[in-house]
Each structure stands twice: as structure tokens, then as C-alpha cells.
Amino acid sequence: DTGVSQNPRHKITKRGQNVTFRCDPISEHNRLYWYRQTLGQGPEFLTYFQNEAQLEKSRLLSDRFSAERPKGSFSTLEIQRTEQGDSAMYLCASSPRIAGRSYNEQFFGPGTRLTVL
């Protein structure tokens, strides 16, 4: 099954440390998204790439957060100087760009669960 994969699946870190997550989208998908989900809530949009270009960032993405997709394939999300409020599930999704259609279902990875102590 060549779905969206995310690594690591779980990350425990101490406050103030930096963490980096990786997302490998479905190979033919040129759109990649990052979301954050806390307990009892729906996913909240963080940022979106089309190929290697980061086209949109949510206000939730503070200066401590940075995302890259250097070759338009995999993406990384880095959080610097982590805070306890960063504890959440970080979800990655991808979707294809289909000519003539402006809407697409998104395919989600299993997520990376971050716990900041």
C-alpha cells in the first residue's frame, strides 16, 4: 500500500528542544498539506505546498514552525523551541492536481504524535 507515510509515529521531547517530522506523500500527488489535531478537535490546517512551493500558511504556524518540500516530493515540518502547547498529532495529507477540477479529496497519513514534557 503506497499511501502517505509519516515518521516518526511518536515523538517525546522536552520543552525547548527542536523536533523534525517527515512526510512522504503518494508519489504522483503534487499537493501536500500539514494539519495539527489536538484531543477532541478536528484537524487544523497549518500549511500547503504545490510541488516545492509553499503557497499558504495558517496563522497557527508561528515563527517557531517551518516546513519545507525541497524537491517537491517529501516534506519536513520542524518545530523549534518546543512548548507544551505544541503537544498534538501532526497530520500530513496529499492530493493530486487534476486538470479542470479545483477540488480534491485529501489522503492522510497516520500522523506523528508529539508529546512535549
Partner 1 sequence: SQQGEEDPQALSIQEGENATMNCSYKTSINNLQWYRQNSGRGLVHLILIRSNEREKHSGRLRVTLDTSKKSSSLLITASRAADTASYFCATDINSGYALNFGKGTSLLVTP
Which residues of this protein are in contact with partner 1, per CB under 8 A?
Answer: 31, 33, 35, 40-45, 48, 50, 55-56, 58, 91, 93, 95, 97, 102-111
Residue 74 vs 107, nearer CB to partner 1: 107
Q: Shortest Cβ distance from residue 56 to partner 1 (Å)? A: 6
* Closest to partner 1 by CB, 3 or 16: 3
Question: In angstroms, what is the minimal distance from the CB of 116 to partner 1?
Answer: 22
Q: Judging by beta carbons within 10 Å of its beta carbon (0-12, 13-18, 19+), is residue 109 exposed, middle or buried?
A: buried
Output 42 or 85, the one with its CB closest to partner 1: 42
Give the Å distances, CA to CA, from 30 to 45, 52, 82, 83, 86: 17, 9, 29, 31, 27
Phi, psi of 84 (to 5 degrees): -60, -30
